[in-house]
Chain A
Amino acid sequence: MKQALYLLLVFGLVPIQTTVLTYAGLGGVRPDLCLVAAILVGFFAGELDGLLLGLVLGFVQDLFSAGELGLNLVAKGSAGFLAGMAGRYVTNTTPITVLTTVFGLSLLSGTVFLLTVGAGGLAGVSFAIWSVLLPQALWDATLGGAGYWLVARYIRREQAILEGPTGWDR
């Protein structure tokens, strides 16, 4: 089940990101589905799953981006790993925790891109911060928080069905 879901993410997210999601962009900026997926998997399945899925998703994203190969691979792998570590050490994970983590990691990964890619001088960097970096981080955080809330709700419901009514419920 888990492997099937990962395969679906690997072969489904980048096609959605490059085609359908172009309509969802606000001011031409779209959420980074691969980053959000790597972070959510890190939170739910641990740092190793987050790292490995992030690496693969980042690599596929690299194949369909104009940049050098390896940049997304490292960015998404690190994000998945860091999210897994956060999930391990934060005692009570809530959608707000995830939202904040995704926002921070998106800003971090975006800053790495900005420094590596270059945006055409100082004026270009300032423009890129306001027109790409921050809007994308907000997009990612919203999507991450909502995604976490949905998945956590689904898991809780499944667990409740498996465990049956408890003594308190009776």
Chain B
Amino acid sequence: MSRSTSGTRRVTLVLVALLLSALLVFPTQSQGLLRHIGVPLAPIVTLPIEALAALDRSLRDVWEGYVALHGVHEENLRLRREVELLRDQNSRLREATSASQRLTALLEFKGRAASKTIAAQVIGRDATNWYRAVMVNKGEGDGVRVEMGVITPAGVVGRVVKTSASASMVLLVTDPNNAITGLIQRTRDEGIVEGTARGLARMKYIPLLSTVRAGDRVITSGLTGGFPRGLPIGVITSIDKTEGDLFQSGEIVPDTDLTRLEEVLIITAPRGEAESDADALSAQPPQQRKP
């Protein structure tokens, strides 16, 4: 009996050793194999994750709705005074901005509104400490694919790097493994926006002759897939210009607060594809169009 147990043990160890060797020798093929094995497993594990995320949300609602309301009266009075001041400012600014609003709205519509997006809820964080990533409750079943861009109304969040049937992993713009093409809004210089170890982002490959300075806004350039042109990424806070280097770089503070993400939008079709869809729809005879 003990001999057979010892034999089984040895056979299992040899099989596992072979499996691990195969993983190291054939990394690409093993990725495909592991992905296949993970297909039925991921939705099962997603269920308790969603349940815990729902519990977490309701507990947070209770906390924010009742327990954390201490001192709200004083804050309310202060905010009322601020509102009075802001109302006055607002009426003056409204007139001045109305003209530019019409024009920018027109331009922004062309640049941004044509993207097709789906809303998703953040249900968890990365299972390790080594990546800045979040898990969202939309997956392949909802049309989410790897490399799709993820945004909030405030700006860029990151891009989808892994999908299962009902959930996806989104690598945040502050992760060093993430890179998206950016454009400095004022100078129109392009560069690559990468995450840094300290949880910020850095725009690399800014031309040496660029007049970029702290306070400049960085937006998506739309050159790579996933994001249309013109989505806010963040603000440059410092410039790194070393003598002898061919390029300069700038540290960016992202516009989106990536530590408090709750709902995000996944761009399923950036502007180009959405436009072509719209063109296809307009090319259809009127009776075939969906209401």
Contacts and interface: CB of A to CB of B under 8 A. Distances in A.
A61 interface: yes
A64 B169 contact: yes
B6 to A, nearest CB: 10
Contacts of A67: 128, 130-131
B131 A65 contact: yes
Given A66-B162, A124-B176, A15 B197 contact: no
Contacts of A94: none
Contacts, number: 141
Interface stretch (B42-50, B105-113, B184-192, B228-236): B42-50
Given A32-B128, A67-B128, A77-B16, A15 B45 contact: yes
Contacts of B35: 69
Shortest 10 CB-CB contacts between residues of A and residues of B: A18-B124, A124-B197, A120-B176, A66-B133, A66-B131, A15-B48, A69-B34, A19-B52, A64-B127, A127-B197
Interface of B: 9, 12-13, 16, 20, 23, 27, 30-31, 34-35, 37-38, 41-42, 44-45, 48-49, 51-53, 56, 123-131, 133, 135, 161-162, 164, 167, 169-171, 175-177, 194-198
Given A15-B49, A16-B52, 17 more contacts: A11-B45, A12-B48, A18-B49, A19-B56, A32-B128, A59-B34, A59-B38, A59-B41, A60-B41, A61-B128, A64-B45, A68-B27, A69-B30, A74-B23, A77-B16, A114-B130, A132-B130
